[in-house]
């Protein structure tokens, strides 16, 4: 997308004026226009997040009806590597609730030596046409998750809720804006506020090359064609970027679908253990060691899951207007 800083600044200034006058709807429209014109105008991204938060707190926007259940829903195998029984039971119950009415199974791997090894075993024992690889500390806000997932899998071979359309280093966020995308809510430790966040306003982005491993779903044929590298990545880091990068090199269609409505209790940690596996990734793909570029996560704090869901639905509505006019991804 061609960036237009002049147009972006004009729309950003308009948004600030509208917000100051109390026109939150007009302000939100102006701020999303500004980001679409120039994704590097970071002030507009945070202003959009804060304006949507003000709208949902005021109850000034109506939620659209849920998507109807999709007749094309594939059978789903959910694989969760977890050594925490309570977390696994909570995640299993959540997926059973979200996938009610569709054929599904939840497979737990409770003694994984690494995520590559554990997911590999889970996939081998699964029966679904599509496979979901999930962390055990997530929740899902969207009541129509199953229909949204079916829609995503019709368009893409592999989907996640956060990722990048360019690989620059040993983490998907390394690419920075304007190449990072996704929506997710954080709730560190499983208590306190829900913190909906986005990297770009687009509900679904095509052309991704790497995904975050908190949630990866795809057609069985992808996982059969691109096995996990359990030799190089014999721990719990960089398995996701390695797998999805190789899937993209193999020609599979990868999408970032933030509109699935995920909540994650962790924001991740880039510690010494991660650095070890990052070095392994760079050694495996020597060209993937470019300079780190700024990646801004636009985040607010809201007091309930209902407000967090309303936040994402409003963002989706704003982006849909732009997409209908031919602007965006």
Q: Taking the CB of residue 50, how many other CB atoms lie within 10 A of it?
A: 17
Instruction: Give me the pLDDT at residue 63, please.
Output: 81
SS3 state at 28: helix
Residue 1 has pLDDT above 50, yes or no: no
Instruction: Confirm if 106 and 127 have CB atoms less than 8 A apart.
Output: no
Among 64-73, 124-133, 145-154, 174-183, which stretch is predicted with the lowest mean pLDDT?
64-73
The model's pLDDT over 43-69, given as tens digits with 9 standing for 90+, comes to 999 999 999 999 999 998 878 888 887
Task: Determine contact, residues 134/78, Cβ cutoff 8 Å.
Answer: yes
DSSP 136-148: SSEEE--TTHHHH
Q: Say what the pLDDT of residue 322 is.
A: 85
Mean pLDDT, the chain, whole residue set: 94
Domains belonging to the chain, first-starting first, are 1-61+305-329 (no CATH), 76-296 (3.90.550.10)
Cβ atoms of 266 and 188 closer than 8 Å: yes
- Please indicate, yes or no, whether the overall pTM of this predicted structure exceeds 0.85: yes
Instruction: Look up residue 220 and give its two tokens.
Output: 């069985």
Judge whether 213 and 200 are in contact, CB under 8 Å. Answer: no
Q: What is the tens place of the pLDDT at every residue in 3-29?
A: 789 999 999 999 999 999 999 999 999
Whose tokens are 């430790």? That residue is: 189
Q: How is residue 187 written in tokens? A: 């709730």
- pLDDT at residue number 190: 81
For 94-126, the pLDDT digits (tens) are: 999 999 999 999 999 999 999 999 999 999 999
Residue 311: name the closest of 323, 324, 322, 298 by CA.
Answer: 298
Query: Is residue 237's pLDDT more than 70?
Result: yes
Encoding tokens for residue 18?
Answer: 């509208």
Residue 275: the pLDDT is: 95
At residue 110, what are phi and psi to the nearest 5 degrees? Answer: -105, 0
The answer, yes or no, to whether residue 176 has pLDDT greater than 90, is: yes
């Amino acid at each position: 997308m061609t960036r237009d800083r002049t147009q972006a600044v004009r729309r950003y200034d308009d948004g600030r004026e509208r917000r100051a006058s109390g026109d939150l709807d007009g302000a939100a429209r102006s701020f999303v226009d500004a980001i679409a014109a120039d994704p590097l105008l970071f002030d507009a991204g945070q202003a959009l997040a804060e304006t949507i938060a003000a709208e949902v707190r005021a109850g000034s926007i109506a939620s659209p009806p849920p998507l109807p259940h999709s007749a094309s829903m594939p059978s789903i195998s959910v694989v969760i590597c977890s050594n925490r029984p309570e977390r696994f039971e909570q995640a299993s119950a959540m997926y059973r609730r979200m996938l009610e009415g569709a054929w599904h199974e939840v497979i737990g791997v409770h003694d994984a030596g690494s995520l590559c090894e554990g997911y590999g075993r889970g996939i081998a024992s699964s029966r679904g046409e599509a496979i979901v690889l999930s962390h055990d500390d997530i929740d899902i806000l969207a009541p129509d998750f199953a229909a949204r997932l079916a829609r995503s899998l019709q368009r893409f071979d592999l989907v996640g809720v956060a990722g990048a359309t360019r690989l620059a280093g040993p983490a998907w966020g390394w690419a920075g804006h304007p190449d990072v995308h996704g929506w997710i809510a954080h709730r560190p430790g499983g208590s306190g506020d829900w913190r909906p966040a986005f990297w770009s306003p687009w509900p679904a982005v095509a052309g991704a090359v790497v995904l975050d491993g908190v949630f990866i779903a795809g057609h069985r044929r992808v996982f059969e064609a691109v096995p996990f590298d359990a030799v190089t990545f014999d721990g719990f880091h960089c398995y996701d970027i390695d797998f999805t990068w190789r899937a993209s090199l193999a020609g599979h269609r990868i999408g970032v679908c933030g509109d699935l409505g995920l909540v994650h209790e962790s924001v991740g940690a880039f510690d010494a253990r991660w650095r070890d596996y990052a070095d392994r990734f760079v050694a495996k793909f020597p060209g993937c060691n470019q300079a780190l570029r700024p990646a801004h996560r636009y985040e607010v704090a809201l007091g309930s899951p209902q407000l967090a869901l309303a936040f994402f639905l409003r963002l989706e509505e704003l982006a849909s207007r732009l997409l209908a006019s031919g602007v965006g991804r």
